Structure 1
Amino acid sequence: MDCRKQRVLLRKLVGVSTLFWVAACEPGAVTESPEAHPQSAALAAGEPLVSASSGRCLDVAQESRTPGAVLQIYGCHGGINQAFTFTAAGELRTYDNTLCVDTASGQTAQGARAVIATCTGLPAQKWVFNANGTVVHTASGLCLDVEGAKTADGTSAIVWTCNGQTNQKWSRPTVADTQAPTPPSNLVTSNLTCNSVTLSWTGSTDNVGVAFYDVYHDGQLMKSVGGSTRSTQLTVVPGANWGLYVNARDAAGNVSQASPTLPLTPPQCELDTTPPAAPSQLSGSASGTGVTLSWNASTDNVGVSGYDVLRNGAKVGTATGTTFVDSGLATSTAYTYTVVARDAQGNVSTASNALTLTTGAACTNPICSVTQVTTDTDIPWGLVALADGTVLYSRRDAQDIVRLNPVTGVKTTLGTVPNVQSTDGEGGLLGLAISPAFDTDRWLYIMHTSPTDNRIVRIKVSAGFTLDLASHQVLVQGLLRNKFHNGGRLRWGPDGKLYASTGDAQNGANAQNTSNLAGKVLRINPDGTIPSDNPFGNFVWSYGHRNPQGLAFDSSGQLWAQEFGNSVMDETNLIVKGGNYGWPNCEGTVSQGGSGCATPGYIAPKQTYSTAEGSCSGIAVVRDVLYVACQRGTRVYREVISGSNLTNVTPYFVGTYGRLRTVEPSVDGNLWLTTSNSGDKDSIPNNSNEKIFRVLLGN
């Protein structure tokens, strides 16, 4: 093996200082005097340059090798686009010493951007790494600077007048740090008001040092603070039921597992006991097995927050506007409706006028009927339909697989999946997929969280429908796990490959690192090997994802994916080989850092949803119509696939069944649908009351 290959192998396998390689592989190869550049010897074979102000690494944006590509700061991940070498000639080289750091068009003016370029030996490509951590541009005398002293991923590197600030200080690790901090602990709140609270915690420990703490509620990032901080004020929402937790992050980008969750419910700012006025002039019409209602808006002393729709006296839906569609009703049946208004503090109006409507004699609607087939005390997560009409589903927190006969309603347990561990959040026993040749090979593919990682395994199912644990095989392991953002869906492609969605493990930098399997859509051979035509030589098929939990193929072989946003926007994406979907710089169509959604190469979503009307998980395609199951939005979207676009986007079951997790095709061309209403974020087994529905589709 030649020395260059040895260095690459050592960097990937052990992460040791590549100075070791220089000494071991080519004695005497260090030509730069440590006295001339005190820190450059350890950079001689390519090492990260870490910004003192953020703990993020100097990075060639988008892993581009095109001359003129800009440099930025980004979460450290050990990729080749974050490895830099100071040469004896005074150059700063990257990509295994094949390209040089320059200024755009060789500029020497303050504010010029740092870029990569073909090496020329000109002064604009000369740099000096000083003992005080500054990197000085020889041609201009200016310092390598993080623009505006910002600390966010994607912030540009420029040259600027040397001023001694930390955004002009750089360091390099002598040994790669791959050890994550311990979880923070002992969360306590104080000074709680209707719109703010102080959160305090006991700090983490780390082999090098904690650089940042990231504060979340229920999987959504609230703020990041410095590693010396142990208390911070948070903005909260009156009356919200939140679960707060904290992750620790070190300068190398390693993220801890999350702290325990601390429940929080802020009080209302003002006591409001006045209910809204009743909605008026409720009217509507019936068509087939669906009913459309409308009414006049209510008034309130503070404000109306929404409406509840009652059918025959029982709540069957919610609305924020003044219309509602009730779907999947029985034919030739009279239903009586009323509507009530509610405010933010739960005051409910008197009912509107009653309206009785009679459905048609036959279904003429996209949704014909909904039948509750069974209930479960745990959370049904993955679900697959078998050729005999039965279904298998995973129980996330109970960690077992159940077979359901929808005709008789009988459920039998196949067994408990070994080595599953929940995360006090949304990890556990997740997605399922059966082999395309299941009737003969009996392989059941499973994605789950283990005590150390997320992984994909397969286990044979016996003819008597029990798990053959002796056949258990781990196909993919080492997928990063955390309390939230574990992804988890599995889907077979028409190419015979298994596709899997993985979350970013609550570290956005993972999503942009194609050497890391977190925040990705993966493509896997049935035996767990890497397909030879994957774009990055590993399992990664697409990247730049936050927490995708839905995968589905249409009749053209196009792969669709559903992804949770943070707090602004969820998205449905059309996945292409090697595609970059923008997280964390882009959330849906909203820029969050760096050059945001305008970054060249980012692929825009085909459909977006506000998180209040989305938080969607599973998706399914039936007759080239995409169905999207949403949790916080408490609905299913029906979206017609037209070429590479989604049209006629229509919500169904809004508030009717609560939070919806999984939607899957049935063998007869209809749908299975599951709820995720209680115990969803605590990992406690059998503390739920969930439902599984069979949805009969129409036109």
Structure 2
Amino acid sequence: MRITRSRPRPISGLILVACAAVLAVTGTVTATVTASAAAPSHPAVSAEYGAESGAAAVAQAAAAHPADQADQPARSAQAAPAADTLLSLNKPATASSAGGCCSAANVDDGVSTTRWASASGADPQWIYLDLGATAHVSRVRLQWDTSCATAYEIDTSADHSSWTKIYSTTAGKGGVEDLTALDGNGRYVRMYGTKRCRGDAGHGYSLQELAVYGTLGTDTTPPTPPGTPTLVSDTPNSVTIGWTASTDDVGVAGYDIYHDGQLCAQVNGSTLTATCASLSPNVAYGFYVNARDAAGNVSQPSGTLHVTTPPSGDTTPPTVPGAVHSTAMTSSSVTLAWTASTDNVAVAGYRVYNVADGARTQVGTADANATGTQVDGLTPSTAYHFQVTAYDGNGNESAGSTPPVDVTTSAPSSCAPAQGVCTVTQVGTDDDVVWGLVTLPDGTILFNERDAHDIVHLNPKTGAKKSVGTVPNVQSTDGEGGLTGLEINPVSFGSDHWLYIMHTSPTDNRIVRIKYDPATDTLQTGTEQILLTGIERNKFHNGGRLRFSPDGKYLYAGTGDAQNGANAQNTSSLNGKVLRINPDGTIPPDNPFHNAVWSYGHRNVQGLAFDSEGRLWEQEFGNNIMDETNLIVKGGNYGWPSCEGTSGTCGTAGFIAPKHTYPVAEGSCSGITIVRDFLYVACERGTRLYREQISGSSLTNVQQFFVGTYGRLRTVEPAPDGGIWLATTNGGDKDSTPHNSNNQIFHVTVA
């Protein structure tokens, strides 16, 4: 094919002004539709993507870079098709690396004076954009800084894992490269550079703008659930499963494999087996599969395959912890220290026991790298005899330290500020998953049984309890859905008696309210009002926490992403969000996106609490790196799925950083509450309660309590005397089976 080059002809000023005006309006409308609400508007957008499009852009580029037109035929001088729409403005960007000056987010902010810069001296380097939905890509416009690419390709992908090349060149010259007449499909679009224009070690790749044009797909039908997995093989540290294929009206693009709500593998749509690695020996896991199509629709889950990994060949226990001794003591706690154990593979952790009358009762744990711990929840003026053991990843446990450390706790006293947490009193038990919990004006408690779908009335002074009723239309998910959030309006409950409830239904997650009759101690199900529907459901990641603002004007709700990370960044979706509605379910007019969404970019929100300044704090689960505590602001973007805690592209402009993070092994935290501007965080996998002082907009003086004492902790709420209620979540909290748990509810006196 022969390309004839000619010098651009002058354009009539009147025609140029008219065309520029039309294109500028088009660019402005596109920016309004596609821009992230958290990002500022940029007046330069219409000039950048309007007046410079088509022939005008090539003419300007030729003036700046005369040799630039000698590239491949895809870089045509004709205008882009009228149907092309700018899809990429302010969409999440992820890069192989980024210099401190030049984050990935700069590449599609519509401003040519900002840029993304990769690490220097290394090939290949790449950057991709998440368009939020599958698109047909017909045009890509690159505006390079001086450090351009000689060789690069443009790729599309449905899952940012498997990529399809839709353009490549080895003759890149930089400047503006406007690639038209492209033909690709995918949600993700990548520039993959393999050779730099400036090959010395001091330079990398530098893109001022990466603009993607095309049309978004309209497929809204998710695939069918895949078949229940079967076991292919297992080892002490991995499990391989297989399943029967899902079907889709367009086609299955890929499968996401989970264990217990944690993503552990992804494969393409033609692969029906996968391996989840990095598991522990002799541990029970629940594996299931979700299918997704090219448009980003995610299926409901497959059934669950329960697998206990085989033990490893390691039969050697760690050495006994040495020199165990006490270093501090109060009326309700003892601090122990020891010298570290050793193991032929690795020490996985420590257990602390109280030895009395020939029995050994576990009262605490410590992490693998610890050489001490504080044992909490002890009884004042009581003798204890502590032993410490070490265990490894295969479950081998050392003998107990000898001799036992004998300590008698001190007499009861006031709860000093330095002590933090003091007396613990069990006020109730339950055999279901205790989720939402509220205190009534008379000091008694109502709580939700997640799997039985009942609301229970508990008198904490006597331990007496009764079910006040079953919430209608609740359906569990064989995971963590069911009857979750429970809240009362702090201002109006005394007169209106509404219970605000969040639960999973057969079709979605929703928020309802039902009246409670104190006279008959019953739930008046006939009064039910449905306040908000359409929050997607899945086996896990259903969120569920409710919290009223202190003035009673607004109800906030935490939702999960329904195991589809795209939901979190889509402000039209109610998933992966903190929501805000009026008590009657209407939308407040000052909500940032004119729907129920208040903040976005969350993975799975299960904790909400207000501080003394009326600020909202939020707790959410990470996947396998870290959990996070956030200070929520109106319209804020908290980064998921590009950012998990402080990992990933968390430095990207527009993503709000967490105030505190927790390794998942020491976290997996659910409920939070605030008492006297101390934040209390209840953690499940971490089996501990964090206490953190709110100081300005920071969290300081972080302490840990009850580490391993009571097992998994889910719910923490303020008690009327200035203490807190604390509920465990042990046994049956991932299978939706009613009445197969063993849980306790405590009253805890705090400083």
- Return the alpha-carbon distance in structure 2 between the equivalents of residues 598 and 139 of structure 1: 27
Q: CA deviation at 1:538?
A: 1.2
Q: Does 1:432 align with 2:482?
A: no
Q: Does 1:391 align with 2:445?
A: yes
Tell whether the 8 Å contact from 2:732 to 2:740 is kept in structure 1 after alignment.
Answer: yes
Q: Does 1:406 align with 2:460?
A: yes
Q: CA deviation at 1:159?
A: 12
Within-5 A mapping of 1:264-279: 264-274=307-317, 276-279=319-322
Structure 2 counterpart SS, 1:655: coil
For residue 257 of structure 2, the aligned residue among 206, 215, 235 is 215
Q: Does 1:356 align with 2:396?
A: no
Q: Does 1:375 align with 2:429?
A: yes
Q: Does 1:296 align with 2:339?
A: yes
Change over 3 Å in CA distance of 1:108–1:235 after alignment to 2: closer
Change over 3 Å in CA distance of 1:548–1:154 after alignment to 2: farther
Question: Which amino acid in the other structure matches residue 473 of structure 1?
Answer: Q
Tell me what 2:395 maps to.
346
Tell me what 1:415 maps to.
469
Tell me what 1:462 maps to.
517
Question: Which amino acid in the other structure matches residue 402 of structure 1?
Answer: V
Tell me what 1:334 maps to.
383
Within-5 A mapping of 1:107-506: 110=150, 140=177, 142=179, 155=190, 176-237=218-279, 238-274=281-317, 276-311=319-354, 312=356, 313-320=360-367, 321-352=370-401, 353-361=403-411, 362-363=413-414, 364=416, 365-436=419-490, 437-463=492-518, 464-495=520-551, 496-506=553-563
Structure 2 counterpart SS, 1:292: strand
Q: Does 1:519 align with 2:576?
A: yes
- Return the alpha-carbon distance in structure 2 between the equivalents of residues 208 and 419 of structure 1: 32
Residues 452-506 of structure 1, C-alpha deviations (whole Å, 9 max, x = no match): 1111111111232212122111111000111111111000113521111011111
Question: Which amino acid in the other structure matches residue 443 of structure 1?
Answer: W
Tell whether the 8 Å contact from 2:542 to 2:561 is kept in structure 1 after alignment.
Answer: yes
Tell me what 2:650 maps to.
597
Tell me what 1:32 maps to.
none
Q: Does 1:614 align with 2:688?
A: no
Structure 2 counterpart SS, 1:656: coil
TM-score (norm 2): 0.75
Change over 3 Å in CA distance of 1:271–1:72 after alignment to 2: closer
Tell me what 1:44 maps to.
83
Tell whether the 8 Å contact from 2:153 to 2:168 is kept in structure 1 after alignment.
Answer: no
Tell whether the 8 Å contact from 1:522 to 1:540 is kept in structure 2 after alignment.
Answer: yes
- Return the alpha-carbon distance in structure 2 between the equivalents of residues 683 and 409 of structure 1: 25
Tell whether the 8 Å contact from 2:547 to 2:608 is kept in structure 1 after alignment.
Answer: yes
Residues 249-289 of structure 1, C-alpha deviations (whole Å, 9 max, x = no match): 01111000111111122223314144533533433332343
Structure 1 counterpart SS, 2:364: strand
Change over 3 Å in CA distance of 1:375–1:44 after alignment to 2: same
Question: Which amino acid in the other structure matches residue 626 of structure 2?
Answer: M
- Return the alpha-carbon distance in structure 2 between the equivalents of residues 111 and 468 of structure 1: 69
- Return the alpha-carbon distance in structure 2 between the equivalents of residues 171 and 278 of structure 1: 64
Residues 331-368 of structure 1, C-alpha deviations (whole Å, 9 max, x = no match): 22222222222222223222222122222221433212
Residues 408-459 of structure 1, C-alpha deviations (whole Å, 9 max, x = no match): 2111212111111111100000011112311101111001111111111111
Residues 608-656 of structure 1, C-alpha deviations (whole Å, 9 max, x = no match): 1100000000000000000000000000001011111111101100000
Residues 361-419 of structure 1, C-alpha deviations (whole Å, 9 max, x = no match): 21433212111111111100000111110011000000011111111211121211111
Tell whether the 8 Å contact from 1:104 to 1:112 is kept in structure 2 after alignment.
Answer: no
- Return the alpha-carbon distance in structure 1 between the equivalents of residues 509 and 82 of structure 2: 34
Structure 2 counterpart SS, 1:640: strand
- Return the alpha-carbon distance in structure 1 between the equivalents of residues 737 and 459 of structure 2: 26
Q: CA deviation at 1:684?
A: 0.7
Question: Which amino acid in the other structure matches residue 345 of structure 2?
Answer: V
Q: CA deviation at 1:330?
A: 2.6
Change over 3 Å in CA distance of 1:338–1:419 after alignment to 2: same
- Return the alpha-carbon distance in structure 2 between the equivalents of residues 434 and 651 of structure 1: 29
For residue 626 of structure 2, the aligned residue among 566, 569, 572 is 569
- Return the alpha-carbon distance in structure 2 between the equivalents of residues 600 and 541 of structure 1: 19
TM-score (norm 1): 0.80
- Return the alpha-carbon distance in structure 1 between the equivalents of residues 524 and 105 of structure 2: 47
- Return the alpha-carbon distance in structure 2 between the equivalents of residues 683 and 350 of structure 1: 37
Give unmatched runs, 5+ long, in structure 2: 1-25, 35-75, 89-103, 116-126, 155-164, 197-210
Tell me what 1:74 maps to.
130
Change over 3 Å in CA distance of 1:205–1:570 after alignment to 2: same
Tell whether the 8 Å contact from 1:304 to 1:344 is kept in structure 2 after alignment.
Answer: yes
Tell whether the 8 Å contact from 1:276 to 1:347 is kept in structure 2 after alignment.
Answer: no
Change over 3 Å in CA distance of 1:328–1:235 after alignment to 2: closer
For residue 670 of structure 1, the aligned residue among 716, 723, 729 is 723
Change over 3 Å in CA distance of 1:411–1:449 after alignment to 2: same
- Return the alpha-carbon distance in structure 1 between the equivalents of residues 501 and 131 of structure 2: 31
Tell whether the 8 Å contact from 1:572 to 1:606 is kept in structure 2 after alignment.
Answer: yes
- Return the alpha-carbon distance in structure 1 between the equivalents of residues 562 and 477 of structure 2: 11
Tell me what 1:122 maps to.
none
Tell me what 2:42 maps to.
none
For residue 706 of structure 2, the aligned residue among 650, 653, 672 is 653
Tell me what 1:22 maps to.
none
Tell me the number of residue pairs that the alignment of Structure 1 and Structure 2 aligns: 612
Tell whether the 8 Å contact from 1:634 to 1:656 is kept in structure 2 after alignment.
Answer: yes
Change over 3 Å in CA distance of 1:206–1:275 after alignment to 2: same
Structure 2 counterpart SS, 1:191: strand
Structure 2 counterpart SS, 1:224: strand
Question: Which amino acid in the other structure matches residue 257 of structure 2?
Answer: V
Give unmatched runs, 5+ long, in structure 1: 13-36, 50-59, 87-91, 93-99, 115-131, 162-167
Change over 3 Å in CA distance of 1:107–1:419 after alignment to 2: same
Deviates more, 1:313-322 or 1:522-531: 313-322
Identity %: 54
Question: Which amino acid in the other structure matches residue 235 of structure 2?
Answer: T
- Return the alpha-carbon distance in structure 1 between the equivalents of residues 227 and 303 of structure 2: 7
Change over 3 Å in CA distance of 1:267–1:43 after alignment to 2: farther
Tell me what 2:685 maps to.
632
- Return the alpha-carbon distance in structure 1 between the equivalents of residues 187 and 282 of structure 2: 31
Q: CA deviation at 1:242?
A: 1.4
Change over 3 Å in CA distance of 1:504–1:61 after alignment to 2: farther
- Return the alpha-carbon distance in structure 1 between the equivalents of residues 468 and 385 of structure 2: 43
Q: CA deviation at 1:170?
A: 9.7
Q: CA deviation at 1:569?
A: 0.6
Tell whether the 8 Å contact from 1:194 to 1:236 is kept in structure 2 after alignment.
Answer: no
